[in-house]
Chains A and B, each alone.
Chain A
Amino acid sequence: MEITVNVNGQSYTRDVEPRMLLVHFLRDELGLTGTHWGCDTSNCGACVAWLDDVPVKSCTALAVMADGHTVRTVEGLERADGLDPVQQGFIECHGLQCGFCTPGMMMTSRWLLDHNPDPSEADIREAISGQLCRCTGYENIVRSVRWAAEHEAAAEGETVTEDTSVEVQA
């Protein structure tokens, strides 16, 4: 059946079988291979992408369920002015490791910071508790997310200061 899905701000129309999983739609139909396909059982979370603004395991959703909806993948994380702070954090703190779980980790972490800009270590661990790192290296991932939170807070602080000065001048 024909479906139209908005992925990372771009509309795609494709003819797919109802049984096609969302992860395969993203990878095989759209060529967006940043979303990884790992365990196939909803356990590992390598396939996490956003469906209608919340992270979901795209190996347990059907592509047809996304018809008329929006999807955001790791390819849509980068900002116009450069990398998302979460992406930068993974570079700075060596959160990538082998890289397989990274796209899913980053998508969930971006969502966490959007809803909780100052998460504790426990908050971060809870948020990614449905995602497995086979390097067994969660320490660096948690540090990466904290790095992003701190740099985002600092960046917003600068913006606020600039705005105030503009007001004073006016």
Chain B
Amino acid sequence: MQVPAQFQYEKATSVEHALELLGRYGSESRLVAGGHSLIPMMKLRLAQPEALIDINDLDELARISVEEDTLVVGAMVRHADLLDSAIAGEHFPIFHDAERMIADPVVRNRGTVGGSLCQADPSEDLSAAFAAVRAEAVIQGPRGRRTTPVREFFTGPYQTVVEPDELLLQLRVPIRSSASAYEKVERRAGDWAVAAVGAALRLEGDQLAEVGIGLTALGAPQFHAPEAEQFLTGGPATPERFAEAGRIAAQHCNPLADQRGPVDYKRHLAATLTARALGKALSRWRGRNHQEA
């Protein structure tokens, strides 16, 4: 029987209360949202916080909304809610693509968007999706509120810029005319990615005006592929150039050999999935803009 080690438990009733509890218990405490990453780690003693601060009752963080030209996804939004959100899917189909492949429906009922990002697992899907669409993270702490681009949110495996006394409030994604997609290879349904790529793009005429590429489980620093993005931006959207962008992304990522496959296989997937995600985003762009493929 796997049971976590003993800990103090506190249930936060508001954001302010959560921050006060974080201040009181210090760096040996952890926030628990859905708990679907943290509780298994606690069972295995990979994490052993002295206090758990439960933020599941913070309904103010569980909303998806549109504020002016920004999609706002609260940190406590469950994966199932992001998958069900018509407004999120309309503007960013990449989220629905990714959510459909995150764990399984029952786990998605409990796991949260903010929890996934703060866990910063190198194989986590939403990190690449939010990096691809250039989202911003809003973080609250005793020193006030601050906003960080998701691309600067991750400082290493399982590490983020969120300080021990801070709390992630929401993810903000500017709604602009763009199309997006997410492609993943996994060993079986609901598994962690062997490799996965998210892509977002916007065309002006025949030229790619904006490109975002996020990589998961591929050792890409901060989950994105800036060299491939730079290569594509300002040129036409052709299958040949998407394939070349894939080769560049594969070259600049740094996958590890593990039970999911050797390095060369993962680089192959990086190249293939990058081209495939870009292609899918492009066909969505054309579908929406009524242009011929």
A130 to B166, CA, bound (A): 33
A130 to B35, CA, bound (A): 17
A48 to B107, CA, bound (A): 10
**Which one, B6, B106, B109, B110, contacts A17 given CB within 8 A?**
B6
A-B contact pairs, 30 of them (CB 8 A): A18-B6, A18-B7, A18-B8, A19-B3, A21-B3, A21-B39, A24-B3, A40-B2, A40-B43, A41-B2, A42-B103, A45-B106, A48-B106, A54-B110, A55-B109, A57-B36, A57-B107, A60-B35, A60-B36, A60-B40, A60-B107, A60-B110, A61-B35, A62-B35, A65-B54, A126-B105, A129-B105, A130-B106, A130-B190, A131-B104
Question: B189 and A62: CB pair below 8 A?
Answer: no
Interface residues of B (CB under 8 A from A): 1-9, 11, 32, 35-36, 39-40, 43, 52, 54, 56, 80, 103-107, 109-110, 189-190
Which chain A residues border B11 with CB–CB below 8 Å? 64, 67
Interface residues of A (CB under 8 A from B): 1, 17-21, 24, 40-42, 45, 48, 51, 54-57, 60-62, 64-65, 67, 108, 126-127, 129-131
Question: B7 and A19: CB pair below 8 A?
Answer: yes
Minimum Cβ distance to chain A for residue B12 (Å): 12
Question: B110 and A127: CB pair below 8 A?
Answer: no
Assuming A64-B54, A65-B54, is B6 touching A131 (CB within 8 A)?
A: no
Question: A19 and B6: CB pair below 8 A?
Answer: yes
A62 to B32, CA, bound (A): 10
Minimum Cβ distance to chain B for residue A104 (Å): 8
Assuming A61-B35, A62-B39, is B106 touching A19 (CB within 8 A)?
A: no
Minimum Cβ distance to chain B for residue A39 (Å): 10
**Which one, B4, B43, B107, contacts A130 given CB within 8 A?**
B107
Task: Determine which residue in B1, B6, B32, B110 has the highest number of CB atoms from chain A within 10 A of its CB, and name it.
Answer: B110
Minimum Cβ distance to chain B for residue A108 (Å): 6
CB < 8 Å A-B pair total: 81
**Which one, B52, B106, B190, contacts A55 given CB within 8 A?**
B106
A60 to B3, CA, bound (A): 10
Which chain A residues border B190 with CB–CB below 8 Å? 129-130
Query: Which chain A residue has the least Cβ–Cβ distance from B42?
Result: A19
Question: A65 and B105: CB pair below 8 A?
Answer: no
Task: Determine which residue in B4, B11, B32, B104 has the highest number of CB atoms from chain A within 10 A of its CB, and name it.
Answer: B104
Query: Which chain A residue has the least Cβ–Cβ distance from B1?
Result: A40
Minimum Cβ distance to chain A for residue B28 (Å): 15
Assuming A19-B6, A40-B1, is B109 touching A56 (CB within 8 A)?
A: yes
Minimum Cβ distance to chain A for residue B57 (Å): 8
**Which one, B7, B32, B110, contacts A57 given CB within 8 A?**
B110
Which chain B residues border A129 with CB–CB below 8 Å? 104-105, 189-190
Which chain A residues border B189 with CB–CB below 8 Å? 129
Assuming A1-B9, A41-B40, A130-B190, is B54 touching A57 (CB within 8 A)?
A: no
Which chain A residues border B103 with CB–CB below 8 Å? 42, 130
Task: Determine which residue in A40, A41, A127, A130 has the highest number of CB atoms from chain B within 10 A of its CB, and name it.
Answer: A130
Minimum Cβ distance to chain B for residue A23 (Å): 10
Question: A56 and B110: CB pair below 8 A?
Answer: yes
Question: A60 and B39: CB pair below 8 A?
Answer: yes
Question: A65 and B35: CB pair below 8 A?
Answer: yes
Going nearest first, the 3 A-B pairs with the smallest beta carbon separation are A130-B104, A18-B9, A54-B109
Which chain B residues border A24 with CB–CB below 8 Å? 1, 3
